[in-house]
Structure 1
Amino acid sequence: MERIDLHMHSAYSDDADFPVSDLMTMAKAADLTALAITDHNSAQSVDDAIRYGKANGVRVMTGIEIDCAFAGNNYHLLGYGFRRDSRDFDTVRHNYRQLDIAATPVKLSKLRALGFQIDEDRLYAMAGDGIPQEEEMAELILEDARNANHELLLPYRAGNARSDMPLINFFWDFFGRDKPCHVTVELPPMAEMAALIIDNGGIPVIAHIGANVKEKHLSVIDQMLPLGVQGVEVFSSYHDEALRRALYQYTVDNSLLATSGSDFHGKNKPNIKMGSSQPWADALPKTLEILEQVTLY
């Protein structure tokens, strides 16, 4: 039986842990038959994924996850099956890195304004060649003894309400839209990114809509369809059963692809396991339709 995961991140994403070679070993151990590595605003994993996928007997499609803007909000657009030799996504990566570099000092200033102590030298050392990420900021803040009694950090301490995934929860609670450390950046329009994916032979799919908006999910997707969106990530770690049912029926009614993906990162999202967002048995055939529309290596 096919078992796929079309949303995971390698170390080419600044907020993920594992090199592509390790992901493929893990995928084999998880009995995955096909996958896509969808690094943030980067298609750098493509060649490694194909090489190590063949070595581990796991089929691979090209993938990326792009931050983009639509109707005043930040959404993630997955791109699947684009040409493996495309260089257009190098520009996406470069442009996003420049936005991220410029935003980092502003984020740190907002954190300090809340009274958080953070060792910036260590932060940049942790990031290495990458750009410091919010989860790295959270990690250093939470372990810094100077912040031990900070009331705002209590929910993330062991045994408390937000301690199940403290780093990503910190990110959502402090850097999400309308949160105290949010920094607005000029992300590329979703229409442009959908067109870029299509122009490179790929398929644009809306990622984890439930993580981006809390209500009226279907009406939001309705507005995205004219942009060229061809699918919805139905089976996601962020979707409860009711939302999965609603999204799945929506893809059936609108002749859209329905995909499944865990959004596996590693330590930043410790409750999310590779291959964990599998479809129900009767939905499996539909979630496999994408495999017939892309090149699998």
Structure 2
Amino acid sequence: MSKIDLHMHSAFSLDADLPVEILIDRCLANQVSTLAVTDHNSVHSVNVARQYTQNKDVTVLSGIEIDCSFQGGNYHLLGYGFKGDMADFYNLEKHITKLQADVVPVKLQKLKDLGFHLDEDHLYHLAKGNTPQEEQMAELILEDERNFSHPLLSIYRGEGARADMPLINFYWDFFGAGKPCHTPVAYPALTDMVSLIKSNHGIPVIAHIGANVKTDHLKVLDEMKAVGVMGVEVFSSYHNAELANKLYDYALGSDLFVTCGSDFHGKNKPKIEVGICNYDLAAEQYIKRFVESALA
């Protein structure tokens, strides 16, 4: 059976590693016939994906995942089906890249304050001229023999409780909201990003709400709908069946689009594979309706 996956990342996302072409080949090998590459704050994959799939039996939507803020919290807003010269998105990428680069020294100092050793020159070499990512910091910290006996790191090694996906787990455990290395970034307002996507004839969809808030999901979604969000990523690798069912019923009852996505990244999230979105046949029909709208 063919699959739909509308949330995945190529190497144009600094925390992912596969070139667009290899990512699409991976999708085809996993029977994904409808997809969107939604790189972080970047649309560089769009034309590459279109050109590479010209003679392939696959449907590709233009996509992006934007870091944004709403009511004091950080969220990810997906944009689909946008058209035009994409200049607005290129300018957005430059802006967010600077915001993220400016806080790297602060993050590194917070890691040092916890007693972690990290070779900064190696970190910037690993980043290849881009903004160093938290997962790269985690990789170097875990590999550095000076940290082998650090008590905070044992859970990321061997059979440790967080060793299944050590790099992304390190990110969540140390850089998530309320965690010791969390560093606020003044991301663009969600309302402005909704307007940006719509002004480029796209559809704004809130990504994996379950990864961003633990309670009151529907209340938050009501407030996001009020400012123009048009869809919910119901089926996500971050949502269990109970939450997915709740979001599904909410979306249908609120006249919002239903979408799905694995959030594939590659080595940073090794347990997540393309095409693993866990929707059923009934939900697939609503997802297909969204795809048709995004392609119109």
Same fold by TM-score greater than 0.5: yes
> Residue 17 of structure 2 aligns to which amino acid in structure 1?
D
Instruction: Specify the alignment match of 1:168 in structure 2.
Output: 168
Instruction: Specify the alignment match of 1:37 in structure 2.
Output: 37
Query: TM-score when scaled to structure 1?
Result: 0.98
Shift of 1:53: 2.0
Task: Give yes or no for contact 2:257–2:286 (8 Å, CA) kept in 1.
Answer: yes
> Residue 29 of structure 1 aligns to which amino acid in structure 2?
A
Partner SS, residue 108 of structure 1: helix
Instruction: Specify the alignment match of 1:247 in structure 2.
Output: 247
Instruction: Specify the alignment match of 1:233 in structure 2.
Output: 233
Q: Distance in 2 between matches of 1:241 and 1:84?
A: 37
Task: Give yes or no for contact 1:7–1:38 (8 Å, CA) kept in 2.
Answer: yes
Instruction: Specify the alignment match of 2:200 in structure 1.
Output: 200
Deviation track 1:21-45 (CA, whole Å, cap 9, x = no partner) reads: 1011111111111100000001111
Task: Give yes or no for contact 1:234–1:248 (8 Å, CA) kept in 2.
Answer: yes
Shift of 1:278: 3.4
Deviation track 1:115-153 (CA, whole Å, cap 9, x = no partner) reads: 000011111011003211000000000011000000010
Q: Distance in 2 between matches of 1:261 and 1:185?
A: 25
Q: Quick one: percent identity of the two aligned structures? A: 53
> Residue 190 of structure 1 aligns to which amino acid in structure 2?
L
Q: Does 1:127 align with 2:127?
A: yes
Instruction: Specify the alignment match of 2:292 in structure 1.
Output: 292
Q: Distance in 2 between matches of 1:55 and 1:111?
A: 48
Shift of 1:58: 1.6
Q: Distance in 1 between matches of 2:3 and 2:224?
A: 28
Q: Distance in 2 between matches of 1:292 and 1:2?
A: 16
Shift of 1:85: 2.5
Q: Distance in 2 between matches of 1:161 and 1:24?
A: 32
Task: Give yes or no for contact 1:261–1:278 (8 Å, CA) kept in 2.
Answer: no
Shift of 1:291: 1.5
Q: Distance in 2 between matches of 1:291 and 1:4?
A: 9
> Residue 36 of structure 2 aligns to which amino acid in structure 1?
A
Shift of 1:2: 4.5
4+ long deviations beyond 4 Å: none
Q: Which moved more, 1:256-265 or 1:55-64?
A: 55-64
Instruction: Specify the alignment match of 1:62 in structure 2.
Output: 62
Change (3 A) 1:15 1:41: same
Instruction: Specify the alignment match of 2:3 in structure 1.
Output: 3
Task: Give yes or no for contact 2:2–2:31 (8 Å, CA) kept in 1.
Answer: no
Partner SS, residue 33 of structure 1: strand
Instruction: Specify the alignment match of 1:17 in structure 2.
Output: 17
- Alignment RMSD (CA, Å): 1.0
Partner SS, residue 152 of structure 2: helix
Shift of 1:84: 4.9
Deviation track 1:84-141 (CA, whole Å, cap 9, x = no partner) reads: 5321100110001001110111100000000000011111011003211000000000
Q: Distance in 2 between matches of 1:15 and 1:244?
A: 26
Instruction: Specify the alignment match of 1:159 in structure 2.
Output: 159
Q: Which moved more, 1:256-265 or 1:83-92?
A: 83-92
1:273-284 aligned at under 5 Å gives the runs 273-284=273-284
Q: Distance in 2 between matches of 1:45 and 1:130?
A: 17
Q: Distance in 2 between matches of 1:226 and 1:216?
A: 16
Shift of 1:290: 1.1
Deviation track 1:235-267 (CA, whole Å, cap 9, x = no partner) reads: 000000100000000011001111000000000
Deviation track 1:30-79 (CA, whole Å, cap 9, x = no partner) reads: 11111000000011111001011224322111000000000100000000
Instruction: Specify the alignment match of 1:78 in structure 2.
Output: 78
Q: Does 1:257 align with 2:257?
A: yes
Structure 1 unmatched runs, 5+:
none
Task: Give yes or no for contact 1:8–1:274 (8 Å, CA) kept in 2.
Answer: yes
Partner SS, residue 250 of structure 1: helix
Instruction: Specify the alignment match of 1:271 in structure 2.
Output: 271
Query: TM-score when scaled to structure 2?
Result: 0.98
Q: Distance in 2 between matches of 1:39 and 1:205?
A: 14
